[in-house]
A and B are shown apart, each in its own frame.
Chain A
Amino acid sequence: MNRDLAPANYLSEGAWPRAWLLTTDHKRVAWLYLVSLTAFFFLGGAFAVLMRIELATPAGDLVSDDVYNRLFSLHGIIMVWFFLVPSIPATLGNFLLPLMIGARDLAFPRLNLASWYVFMFGSLFALASVLLGGVDTGWTFYTPLSTLYANGFVSTAAFGVFIVGFSTIMTGINFIVTVHTLRAPGLTWFRLPIFVWTLYATSLVMVLATPVLAASLILIVLERVFGIGIFNPDLGGDPLLFQHLFWFYSHPAVYIMILPGMGVVSEVLPCFSRRPLFGYKAVALASMAIAVFGFLVWGHHMFVSGQSAYAGVVFSFLSFCVAIPSAIKVFNWSLTLRKGEISFETPMLYALFFLALFTFGGLAGLFLAALAVDVHVHDTYFVVAHFHYIMVGGMVTAYMAGLHFWWPKLTGRMYSEIWGRIAAAVTFIGFNLTFFPQYVLGFLGMPRRYHTYPPEFAFWHILSSAGAVVLAIGYLMPLLYLAWSLFRGARAPDNPWQATGLEWQTSSPPPAHNFDRMPTVTRPAYDYPMKGLTEKRSDPVEDLV
């Protein structure tokens, strides 16, 4: 890939395929994940595009209702479990965690590689269900639909997700142990970059929540394959139990998905405003608070399921509580920008878009946490819009910010700054065009998961479908110019953004052993503006012209 680069680095050693498929280097495992997750992202995205094309007209003319059920199920299953949950931790986290704490590798390099194989095995198992004819339960596998009525390959898909859970737990254990045991001398807990804090919080949730998902999926497979009726009322079971178990995992899981994104933004914002992160300790501890509170709010997915009114009130209150640490973060990020020397490079654009979209989506979450409002908008496009503002507007945008921020470190190459900024803007416009109309649709009463709708909803649906096309272009552009930069991009300096953090002190791309000299940390994180680097940075767009 980078054979023409002079110094030996982690990319140049060994020959494909052996040196990559049997590697235990965390940086190469990150690449294995990056390539497979990108494939899953575009596969899941393709299903979404098909859905939006179907919804461009009120009648069901492109696909049948049955096929539509399969489309949204596969979109959800692939995007949640095979992209969002592993996205930042397994790619950027895998690559950066050891670099950021000054270690040679993760605590268990072979476990790390094994986690990728387990991930691939499980995800291909689930993909097999697509080839066999699909799943029509939605990504939530609700019982009794999934156990008694679903006519798709539920067991295959559920078992695939179950296997991928092992990979998640492996990564979680590896990260926790690494952060505890492998920090460089002087790198105290409160000197850790926030990205490391959020990966740590994410790993805790991974390790403690994923087994509960495993339990619920085991029980589904036991019911479908062995006929043990835990969720089947005919056999004495209780279908609602599944929702409790499922959301006990899946609510914390949305924090698995968003916390690393918060970490990326906490790295990018200080760098491009040349200011230390405002309220470092509050942001670090807010990550832990989100991880803890996340376990106590699952019942807010079940306000209309017939749980007791008192349970509803308590879950509603706790859901408002979880907004507090998130708001602490948003305020601290905003105050970081204050009086900053802000510049708008591509990662910064994405980070600012994250800030806007996450705040907007988060506020919609408060609507949903309110009992009475939720009864009105439950199971409508309002929920879909809220979820996508956090997961796509928040998480995927943060992922793009991180990918662009650390791309020079990953590859040793610079991408085209102009194209980067254009793609960021296109994504932002396309995203809002796609998902803002869905808030309106949901509020007007359009239920989710229907492939036809009354003509009076057509205006908003057409806007949303048009936005999906723009969004798709916004996501395809980075695929092209980032791939192009691998071969033709300018060679990246060691620290192109003049950022703090240990990962920028080694070469780009780093050597296989990460650091030639063991780093020692004597300063707090985000020590901006950096001493001796205060001269004005040249404008990269100007340089290109």
Chain B
Amino acid sequence: MKSPMTSIAFDPPARETAAASFAMWVFIGSEAMLFGAILLVFMFARLSYGDAFAGAAKHLSLPLGTANTVVLITSSFAMALAHMYTAARRWRAAGRALAATALLGVVFLAIKATEYAREFGEGLAPVLGAPFIYKGPDPVHAEFFFGLYFAMTSLHALHLICGVIVIGGILALWPRTIEASRFRRVQAIGLYWHFVDIVWVFLFPVLYLINR
């Protein structure tokens, strides 16, 4: 950070922009530990029950998972545009790019919901006492796979929902926000959005692609 000899301590506007993006980075470090812990659990289980997990992974829908990956990476592209437009003070374009980001986030959630519904229908969702119907070998550990799958993807979806809500809030307040704050907010939510995107970039190969 800044050299202490040129501290900006008593200068709120300047300090806030630097501090806000730094704080978001620290928060992302924290979030990385959250997803890291659960990914570690998954990797441990994957190493222990490799065959059962490989078999169970084949029951996930690769087309829907791939479509979601494309949607989410596109949303991150829209977010990057929003950031560029904000930096260039092109406010209308930035607002539209933010709206597109949130919309793609909603599309992702809709596809995810379809996927969940399909898995519920096939008896692959060991949730809320629903019966787990599985034809392949080692159904007990296949159930473990689906337990982890639902835990990981729903936690990711929850983060996405939070992101969409915050973008909605930023857009709702957009006309009443001063320019310095607009940039600060877009920068912070942008960092968060890209992080949530990257989490999916880890989840997708780990859950859908391994041993295909």
Contact = CB atoms under 8 A, between A and B. Distances in A.
B26 interface: yes
A207 B34 contact: no
Nearest to B34: A211
Nearest to B32: A211
Interface string B125-155: 0111100000000001111110110110001
B4 A230 contact: no
Given A183-B9, A211-B37, A238 B151 contact: no
A151 interface: no
B109 interface: no
Given A103-B9, A215-B37, A227-B126, A181 B2 contact: yes
A188 interface: yes
A211 B39 CA distance: 13
Contact of A218 (B7, B27, B36, B155): B155
Contact of A108 (B19, B34, B128): B19
B115 interface: no
B210 interface: no
Contacts of A245: 37, 41
A228 B9 contact: no
Interface string B94-137: 00000000000000000000000000000000111100000000
A186 B34 contact: no
A209 interface: yes
B10 A518 contact: yes
Given A236-B144, A236-B147, A173 B127 contact: no
Interface in B1-20: 1-2, 4-10, 15, 18-19
Given A229-B143, A237-B147, A104 B9 contact: yes
Contacts of A102: 9
B51 interface: no
A241 interface: yes
Candidate in A101, A174, A183, A186 with the most chain B CB atoms within 10 angstroms: A183
Given A102-B9, A245-B41, A180 B151 contact: no
Contacts of B142: 236
B202 interface: no
B135 to A, nearest CB: 16
B147 A235 contact: yes
B184 to A, nearest CB: 12
A63 B155 CA distance: 41
B15 A228 contact: no
Main secondary structure of the interface of A (DSSP, over half): helix
A189 to B, nearest CB: 8
Given A208-B33, A227-B129, A183 B26 contact: no
B140 A236 contact: yes
B50 to A, nearest CB: 13
Contacts of A237: 144, 147
B61 interface: no
Given A104-B9, A181-B1, A227-B127, A241 B144 contact: no
Nearest to B149: A228
Candidate in B7, B19, B31, B44 with the most chain A CB atoms within 10 angstroms: B7
Contacts of B22: 177, 180-181
A267 to B, nearest CB: 20
B127 A182 contact: no
B30 interface: yes
A184 interface: yes
A16 B171 CA distance: 36
Given A177-B26, A211-B30, A211-B31, A216 B1 contact: no
B199 to A, nearest CB: 13
A368 interface: no
A180 B144 CA distance: 43
Given A107-B19, A207-B30, A236-B144, A180 B1 contact: yes
A219 to B, nearest CB: 6
Candidate in B8, B31, B144 with the most chain A CB atoms within 10 angstroms: B144
A214 B34 contact: yes
A253 interface: no
Interface string A202-226: 0000011111101110110010001
A176 B25 CA distance: 11
A188 B4 CA distance: 6
B143 A216 contact: no
Contacts of A189: 4
Given A211-B31, A227-B129, A218 B151 contact: yes
Interface string B34-51: 101110010011001100
A217 to B, nearest CB: 11
Candidate in B22, B52, B126, B147 with the most chain A CB atoms within 10 angstroms: B147
Contacts of A215: 34, 37-38
A169 interface: yes
A103 B7 CA distance: 10
B5 A186 contact: yes
Contacts of A184: 4, 7, 9
B201 interface: no
Given A181-B1, A181-B19, A186-B4, A173 B30 contact: yes
A210 B1 CA distance: 25
Contacts of A248: 37
Nearest to A219: B151
Contacts of B33: 208-209, 211-212
Given A186-B4, A219-B151, A236-B143, A210 B23 contact: no
A177 B23 contact: yes
Contacts of B6: 185
Given A107-B23, A181-B1, A235 B143 contact: yes
B205 interface: no
Given A181-B2, A229-B126, A176 B26 contact: yes
B27 A173 contact: yes
Contacts of B175: none
B31 A238 contact: no
A85 to B, nearest CB: 15
A219 B147 CA distance: 10
Interface of A: 101-104, 107-108, 169, 172-174, 176-177, 180-189, 207-212, 214-216, 218-219, 222, 226-230, 234-238, 241, 245, 248, 518
Given A227-B129, A229-B147, 19 more contacts: A169-B30, A180-B1, A181-B9, A185-B7, A185-B9, A186-B5, A189-B4, A207-B26, A207-B29, A228-B147, A229-B144, A230-B41, A235-B126, A235-B140, A236-B49, A236-B141, A236-B142, A236-B147, A518-B10
Interface of B: 1-2, 4-10, 15, 18-19, 22-23, 26-27, 29-31, 33-34, 36-38, 41, 44-45, 48-49, 52, 126-129, 140-145, 147-148, 150-151, 155
15 contacts: A102-B9, A104-B9, A173-B23, A174-B23, A177-B26, A181-B9, A181-B22, A184-B4, A215-B38, A228-B126, A229-B147, A230-B151, A236-B52, A236-B141, A237-B144
